[in-house]
Structure 1
Amino acid sequence: MSKHLIIAEKPSVAKDIAKALGGCKDEKEYLESENNIITWAVGHLVEFISPEEIDPKYKAWKLEDLPIIPKSFSLKAKDKCTTRLRIIAKLAKRADVEAVVNACDAGREGELIFRELVSFCKIKKPILRLWLQSMTPEAIRNGFASLKPGADYENLYQAAQCRAEADWLIGINSTRALTRRLKTRTEKVSWSAGRVQTPTLAMLQSHELDILKFRPAPYWRLKAKFDIPINKENETKPHTYEAVYFDPKFDPKQISEEKNFKGRDEAIFDRALAEHIEQTVKGHQAQVEETRKNKPEAAPPLFDLTSLQREANRRFGLSAKSTLAAAQRLYESHKLITYPRTSSKCLPTDYVGQVKRIWSGMATYASRAEEGSLNFPLYATAASKLLAEPKLRNYGKIFDDSRISDHFAIIPTTQLAGRSLRDDEAKIYNLILRRFLAAFFPPAVTTVIERITTVKAEDETFTFRTKGNFLSEKGWKEVYGYDSQEECSALPELKATPQAPALARNKEITLKDEMTKPPTRITEARLLSLMENAGKQVEDEELSNAIEETGLGTPATRAEIIEALLTRGYIERADRALKATTKGIILIDLLKRIGCHRLASPELTGRMEYNLNQVEHGTYKRKA
């Protein structure tokens, strides 16, 4: 009886497929049933041969031999992968195997891993493609019921191959050139560069130079307390409130070196003026005006990988690498979430029924107590509320086929959580559950208060500002445990009228000595955002649009890029932030000095992504 040889990207996925399809016997190096043989890769099993294997002269790293551009890119087995390759090749040659199924990750890199195996093992049999969005048994069975011809993904493979070859060329040549220029006799590691790694480093280097160039300057702030007494002519409650002096006519262009200074209109850079205002305002009467505006805040979108990594870093200090690892376990081992390595924040339009099934499962958590980071009663309450709604909110924002490429947003599956989650897994799962629920809730409304206190003394006027806010309609913030508030207790509402204006008297004023501070260092969450939005730095509109879709790197590779920069000593951690090291600063400086500034700019990646997108969509052909 003829069979399909199914090749997964890793052993755990192969076992999940076998379990979902059923009837498989474990043969140690593969699993077999009446209809299928299931085996696995372990990521990339092959790699391009090294320059010295192309020509022995490249063993010596000489500038005169650059650039190295091979006539063709040959593959070789990676260390300790030969046995696995032999197993796959042997299984593919079996007479009962009629077709090979690509069950590697659904995306550019997964396509490359599989096609490299086909090429290296000289597999000539027909290819079918499995494209999974989640790892639940139901999703796996549905995927096998709708296998596509491998030829449908030829353009995706061509784009992946182009990316791999271009990265090899850039990496090999730039690394050898930089190492020859910069490596000292005592250094044991080479200097490397790459089309994604180096522009990322350049952003941190530029910011670090701003910090190093910064010179603190003294300034003064005035904080005051004002009393509003009983006024029989209006209904304002008597109370005391705090306010900070500010200059409404402040022009930031006047003080260029303080351009990054937050709250600059509150800063007084002349001590004599500060002391004069202090003495004039002390004990003086003031007129008070206030505005209260309702500010709606729409529900946040569903998570893609980068936004999940940013949120986990902001909330828990988790690195991008740790967040991805936890999300991958939630997907592969626990089957609790959909595919995490996604760049989409939307769902397909035919997923409405599935969303409601997930809510129905979450509603059963009502009788389950909180467990660490996981608030099961809250999930159940929110899910039940959504199920009771007559129609879905935010439909057009969430369900959009045009904004989904390989994978849709990260959401929970119908699988219910067990009790075996690690602490980091529970934290990430909690973020995903809450975001999935909150996305369908109405806007939260915050009442924003700005109170202006004006002191007029002879021909001078001095203004003080008080800010406050309170949540007047909790909306989606209910899912995050917020309660709406009736009023900001520190700022009772002014009941002033033109006939009875609100008056206050200064009770206390304090002059505070301050120093301007350098720009804060970039956190990992902020760096991920900069990488994602790198297209804004590219002037060419077409290239900007191309990189805007992916940014620097992909959601799946950004964590690796940051870790590579840390490992190679170009950046280091400073508490929860990242900073360029001396080595990193020197590298970017040299590239700019020798005219290789494009390697440190997102423009190179923009140009490449633009061409790769064309290859992927069949409008541009890869040159063999």
Structure 2
Amino acid sequence: MKTIVLAEKPSVGRELARVLKCEKKTKSFCEGKDYIVTWAMGHLVELADPGEYDEKYQRWDLKTLPMLPEKMKHKVIRKTSHQFRTVQGILKRKDVDRLVIATDAGREGELVARWIMRLSGWKGKTERLWISSQTDQAIREGFKNLKPGKNYINLFHSAEARAEADWLVGLNITRALSCRYDTRLSAGRVQTPTLAMIVKREEEIENFLPQEYWNVEADLGAFTAQWRNDKGINRFSQYEEALALASKMEDGEAIILEIDKKKKSEAPPKAYDLTELQRDGNRYLGFSAKKTLQVLQGLYERHKYVTYPRTDSRHITTDMVPTLKDRLKAVRETAYRDQINSLLEKDLKPGKNFVDNSRVTDHHAIIPTEEKADLKNLTVDEKQLFDLIVRRFVVVLSEPYRYESISMTLEIKGEKVYARGNRTLEKGWKSIDRQSGYSEGENDSQLPDQALSEYAKGDLFPVKSVSTRKGLTKPPARYSEATLLTAMENPSKFVSDKKLKETIRQGGLGTPATRADIIEKLLSSYYIDRKGKELVPTAVGMELIRIVPDMLKSPELTAQWEQRFTDIAEGREQTRAFISEIREETKRLVSQVKNSKLTYEPKNLSRKDCPMCGKKLMEIHDKKGNPKFVCQSLACGYEDEPEKKNDPYRRQGRKEKAMNSRLVRQYSSKEKDTMTLGDMIKAQMKDK
């Protein structure tokens, strides 16, 4: 008898088949003496569309809402139905008696496999492959240590609960908003609070009133010192006050009243999880979150140079420590050869900052595998991202940065001034991490680092000059993808409930694997625009947040759901109870939209009228920054891209072809363009 191995993607499936010696290869599966390896091509099964429950749901109509099917149906995805039939056929073979689930080791991967098993009618023995890298050694070890499939049934129930809840709330609210305001709108439990954060930041910027302030600094020759009062305030709101203080201290003498020296150390930053890597990919490489994940997926699946990408952990487990030197050897031929050789000469003893079993859930941090890296096999993007991962791995294993912190309190004519400095003792990891100085913003209250180690209490310094430095308070910065990912990871400041604050601090908005898609969805729905690295809400995005029910704007809904999903996955709650509450919540949300007195009036619409329906077009920008005009009418959907109109080589999209056909039908003459000889004879006979 044979075992069927179900992978999530063809590339992963073929690698598993190679290791399992499945030499017979087809387009849809590989077969060997003991194993048949096939794959899902992502999802093969999904929840059925509303129209498959009742014909009345095929039309978008406010009267038919809410849509609350008694039991959720599933359907095979049409474009990959051929692959489903292949998998189903293998599962029904008489010589197959065991199934190994080898989809991605996580909640979504479990859902992919279990829905296929359900629609295929599989009832046989099921085991689970749970690995964190795609190297041959990891695959072999994984098959030696397969887990019982029943161990992951609650994980599947958690994933299914999420999918059903998103269907119930997302589809109902999207239809309700779109029908109520006759425009294409969409909402969801992760998408909408994420957009709300971007809109709130934009409103803070628009309402911000800059204020002038002045600092007072004394030049003491060897270093400078800054004035601040006993409460730590170093600013004057009135220039005259700052100037009066500067004049008072002119020509004075500074004496050191106190000097404080402390030896300190700074541990290396933690290893990468997906979100942190996406942040750095955006900061340093200009990659979008989605691009970082795509490139990372190639490094994991195709090259096998890095471990599982979709992780939310920044630690490894103790059993992995013996593999660290092999991983270092595998990346020796990189820009960090000298540092790696130095590490290989030592007995590696990483601390809790890197090794902590309690901080690893499904998968450990993203680190290099033991597969020897050949940079010649990588694209430019892959080299850049791999460099970030290797550098962080070397940094994490390096010694702390050790320094002496020095702070001084001085007095000039009765006024206190302060100076600060650091003296490096051992560079440690900072000699490697060229990007360690990255900062999200500037803080004018921070004193500059200076060389102060040679001075002592009581030392005197003549005041060379005293200056006033003008500053202007700044509004909060717009979100970049890097800072938005941070906010999505920990949106607790937008939550008032203390218990929910802790829940959302643990989970955040979405998962590391879905956050990139959420940002892309907001862009493709024209709710936000990219302007350089900044994410800016469009007029429609701001208007959507104004009219959407309050419950959907706050991360609290997601926090509540994520806590329930965790409870289901750990067996503390039943799916049925959760879905029952979601159905009631859906009714309330739909009712709020139906009964809303608000009107939909997005600002900054263009002056151009839609040629199809006459409504004003909204101006947005495509990925390249070119203008694009879109009709927001629910029944229309016209799109106009002026930058591409005169391009003779461009291909028309499906939507544009449909629009052109409708325009032709609408404005063309109904009379025949030509007449045959027979038509002419018939016409003559009619006249007679």
Contact 1:494 1:502 in 2 (8 A): no
Partner residue in 1 for 2:482:
525
Distance 2:454 2:354 in 1: 41
Could you list the per-position Cα deviations for residues 505-557 of structure 1 after superposition, in whole angstroms to 9, with x for gaps in the alignment?
22233334433221122232222122112346444454444433321111111
Could you list the per-position Cα deviations for residues 61-91 of structure 1 after superposition, in whole angstroms to 9, with x for gaps in the alignment?
3333222111111122224112111111122
* Matched-pair identity in %: 39
Contact 1:135 1:335 in 2 (8 A): yes
Contact 1:304 1:344 in 2 (8 A): yes
Contact 1:296 1:445 in 2 (8 A): yes
Partner residue in 2 for 1:244:
226
Distance 1:57 1:114 in 2: 32
SS at match of 2:575: coil
Q: Counterparts of 1:473-488 in structure 2 under 5 Å?
A: 473-480=426-433
**Compared CA separation, residues 200 and 217, structure 1 to 2 (3 A):** same
**Compared CA separation, residues 470 and 114, structure 1 to 2 (3 A):** same
- Which residue identity is paired with 2:358? S
> Which one of 340, 345, 358 corresponds to residue 309 of structure 2?
340
Distance 1:54 1:306 in 2: 38
Contact 1:217 1:516 in 2 (8 A): yes
**Compared CA separation, residues 523 and 382, structure 1 to 2 (3 A):** farther
Partner residue in 1 for 2:33:
34
Could you list the per-position Cα deviations for residues 108-166 of structure 1 after superposition, in whole angstroms to 9, with x for gaps in the alignment?
10010111111223333332221121100111111112222322211111111101000
Partner residue in 1 for 2:113:
114
Distance 1:529 1:4 in 2: 43
Query: Can you give the 5+ residue segments of structure 2 that lack an aligned partner in the other structure?
Result: 437-447, 580-688
Distance 2:252 2:54 in 1: 86
Q: Which moved more, 1:143-152 or 1:604-613?
A: 143-152
SS at match of 1:564: helix
Superposed CA RMSD: 2.4
Partner residue in 2 for 1:590:
547
Contact 1:378 1:479 in 2 (8 A): no
Partner residue in 2 for 1:413:
369
Partner residue in 2 for 1:193:
187
Could you list the per-position Cα deviations for residues 230-278 of structure 1 after superposition, in whole angstroms to 9, with x for gaps in the alignment?
xxxxxxxxxx32333433435xxxxxxxxxxxxxx33321122122223
Q: Which moved more, 1:404-413 or 1:213-222?
A: 213-222
Q: TM-score, normalised by structure 1?
A: 0.85
SS at match of 2:14: helix
Could you list the per-position Cα deviations for residues 156-197 of structure 1 after superposition, in whole angstroms to 9, with x for gaps in the alignment?
11111101000111110111122234445xxxxx21111111
Contact 2:7 2:40 in 1 (8 A): yes
Q: Displacement, 1:417?
A: 0.8
Partner residue in 1 for 2:340:
380
Distance 1:579 1:356 in 2: 45
Could you list the per-position Cα deviations for residues 85-115 of structure 1 after superposition, in whole angstroms to 9, with x for gaps in the alignment?
1111122222212222211101110010111
Contact 2:278 2:289 in 1 (8 A): yes
Q: Displacement, 1:430?
A: 2.1
Could you list the per-position Cα deviations for residues 180-238 of structure 1 after superposition, in whole angstroms to 9, with x for gaps in the alignment?
34445xxxxx21111111111222222221111101222233344223xxxxxxxxxxx
Could you list the per-position Cα deviations for residues 412-452 of structure 1 after superposition, in whole angstroms to 9, with x for gaps in the alignment?
11111112222222222222223223323332123333344
- Which residue identity is paired with 2:569? E
Could you list the structure 1 runs, at least 4 aligned residues long, displaced by more than 6 angstroms after superposition.
Answer: none
Partner residue in 1 for 2:144:
145
SS at match of 1:402: helix
- Which residue identity is paired with 2:451? L
Partner residue in 2 for 1:277:
245
* Alignment partner of 1:317 is 2:275: no
> Which one of 612, 617, 621 corresponds to residue 570 of structure 2?
617
Contact 1:360 1:383 in 2 (8 A): no
* Alignment partner of 1:267 is 2:224: no
- Which residue identity is paired with 2:472? M
- Which residue identity is paired with 1:202? A
Q: Displacement, 1:335?
A: 0.4
Q: Displacement, 1:295?
A: 2.8
Distance 1:451 1:346 in 2: 38
Distance 1:169 1:464 in 2: 62
> Which one of 352, 356, 360 corresponds to residue 404 of structure 1?
360
Q: Which moved more, 1:532-541 or 1:40-49?
A: 532-541
Q: Counterparts of 1:421-460 in structure 2 under 5 Å?
A: 421-456=378-413
Q: Displacement, 1:323?
A: 1.5
Contact 1:542 1:610 in 2 (8 A): no
Partner residue in 2 for 1:237:
none
Contact 1:382 1:479 in 2 (8 A): no
* Alignment partner of 1:509 is 2:466: yes
Q: Counterparts of 1:126-137 in structure 2 under 5 Å?
A: 126-137=125-136
Could you list the per-position Cα deviations for residues 566-619 of structure 1 after superposition, in whole angstroms to 9, with x for gaps in the alignment?
22122222332323333222222223xxxx322111211121112111111112
- Which residue identity is paired with 1:242? T
Q: Displacement, 1:285?
A: 2.3
Partner residue in 2 for 1:329:
298
Contact 1:521 1:579 in 2 (8 A): yes
Partner residue in 1 for 2:681:
none
- Which residue identity is paired with 1:557? T
SS at match of 1:341: coil
Partner residue in 2 for 1:59:
58
SS at match of 1:277: helix
Distance 1:512 1:482 in 2: 29
Contact 2:263 2:402 in 1 (8 A): yes
**Compared CA separation, residues 453 and 50, structure 1 to 2 (3 A):** same
**Compared CA separation, residues 111 and 516, structure 1 to 2 (3 A):** same
Could you list the per-position Cα deviations for residues 303-352 of structure 1 after superposition, in whole angstroms to 9, with x for gaps in the alignment?
21112222222333322212211211111011011101111122222222
- Which residue identity is paired with 1:618? G
Distance 1:224 1:400 in 2: 48
**Compared CA separation, residues 583 and 406, structure 1 to 2 (3 A):** same
Q: How many aligned residue pairs are there?
A: 564
- Which residue identity is paired with 2:344? S
Distance 2:139 2:22 in 1: 15
Contact 2:422 2:450 in 1 (8 A): no
Q: Counterparts of 1:526-605 in structure 2 under 5 Å?
A: 526-535=483-492, 537-591=494-548, 596-605=549-558
- Which residue identity is paired with 1:278? A
* Alignment partner of 1:177 is 2:179: no
> Which one of 252, 258, 276 corresponds to residue 307 of structure 1?
276
Distance 1:481 1:530 in 2: 25
Partner residue in 2 for 1:260:
none
**Compared CA separation, residues 20 and 536, structure 1 to 2 (3 A):** farther
SS at match of 2:507: coil
- Which residue identity is paired with 1:7? L
SS at match of 2:483: helix
- Which residue identity is paired with 1:399? V
- Which residue identity is paired with 1:343? D
Partner residue in 2 for 1:225:
219
**Compared CA separation, residues 518 and 4, structure 1 to 2 (3 A):** same
Partner residue in 1 for 2:255:
287
Contact 2:423 2:453 in 1 (8 A): no
**Compared CA separation, residues 489 and 477, structure 1 to 2 (3 A):** closer
SS at match of 2:370: coil
Q: Counterparts of 1:53-92 in structure 2 under 5 Å?
A: 53-92=52-91
**Compared CA separation, residues 278 and 548, structure 1 to 2 (3 A):** closer
Distance 1:143 1:60 in 2: 49
Distance 1:328 1:41 in 2: 17
Distance 1:169 1:305 in 2: 29
Distance 1:151 1:161 in 2: 16
**Compared CA separation, residues 346 and 512, structure 1 to 2 (3 A):** closer
